[in-house]
Structure 1
Amino acid sequence: MMIDHNWHLGHSVLEVQPLGPLTEEDFQSLEAQVDPVISEYGRLSGLLINAEHFPGWESFVALVSHCRFVRDHHKHIRKIAVVSDHRLLGVMPRLVDHFVSAEVRPFSTGEYQRALDWLGEPG
């Protein structure tokens, strides 16, 4: 598995961290983690994408799986924080904000705790 994940704030915020090129199986594994929580609580307060080093995707199928995961889950996530100094990922929140219902914000790698605090804020 090329995505590590950790739960924060009583399973209300999921942190994901790519460890290598993302695969189709990574998104199937994430669905297995996220779907039961969404079923029980209706939604996640937040998703923290910890992408200090973004390795890309293993294949086109993996990219399609990523898009499908976003399509199927964005309505159930209130906020998304992208923590990265990668230039493209810093711009990505402004681009995807038009396509997802979650509020999306970029944070630099030095702002990890600030991002987690923002995800835990009510509202």
Structure 2
Amino acid sequence: MIEHCWHHDHDILEIRPVAELRPAEFRALAAQVDPVICEHGYLQGLLIDARHYRGWQNFAAQVPNCVFTRNQHRHFHRIAVLSDNALLGFMPQLLNHFVAAEVRPFPLDEEDAALEWLRYPG
């Protein structure tokens, strides 16, 4: 299951994988996100809050789906990943192989810093 919410007037999408991830859930999320991308042309950022997701190896295999379908990742300027998992340090290198956006990890207690980084790309 994937929960989501919007920040900064639909400029930043936050997703929270909270259970096993299935392709149908990504398609359902994409159906809600696509109209926003069509309206704005892009999204400032994607915040992946992975605090409740324990399947990092499965998550890595799901990365291409995580940024939806049909190359939506090209419409994000930045992606922030929130987690205290030790593998977090390797996520940017992994994600950079799959997405066009700049990717950066953040510890769970730095959610505000992650949102600030997403909001103001350099």
5 Å matches for 1:35-46? 35-46=34-45
What is aligned with 1:11?
Answer: 10
Unaligned runs of 5+ in 1: none
What is aligned with 1:101?
Answer: 100
Task: Give the residue type in structure 1 aligned to 2:78.
Answer: K
Cα distance change, pair 102–65 in 1 and its aligned pair in 2 (3 A): closer
Cα distance change, pair 68–77 in 1 and its aligned pair in 2 (3 A): closer
| 1:65-117 per-position Cα deviation (integer Å, ceiling 9, x unaligned) | 71682662111110000001112233111222244210100000011111011
5 Å matches for 1:1-123? 2-56=1-55, 63=62, 66=65, 69=68, 72-123=71-122
Task: Give the residue type in structure 2 aligned to 1:39.
Answer: C
In 1, Cα distance between the equivalents of 2:100 and 2:114?
Answer: 18
Unaligned runs of 5+ in 2: none
Q: Secondary structure at the match of 1:69?
A: coil
**TM-score after normalising by structure 1:** 0.84
Query: Contact 2:26/2:66 (CA < 8 Å) preserved in 1?
Result: no
Q: Alpha-carbon deviation of 1:63?
A: 3.7
**TM-score after normalising by structure 2:** 0.84
Q: Secondary structure at the match of 1:104?
A: strand
Cα distance change, pair 112–46 in 1 and its aligned pair in 2 (3 A): same
Q: Alpha-carbon deviation of 1:50?
A: 0.3
In 2, Cα distance between the equivalents of 1:81 and 1:99?
Answer: 14
Q: Percent identity at matched positions?
A: 54
Task: Give the residue type in structure 1 aligned to 2:11.
Answer: S
For the aligned residues, what is the CA RMSD? 2.5
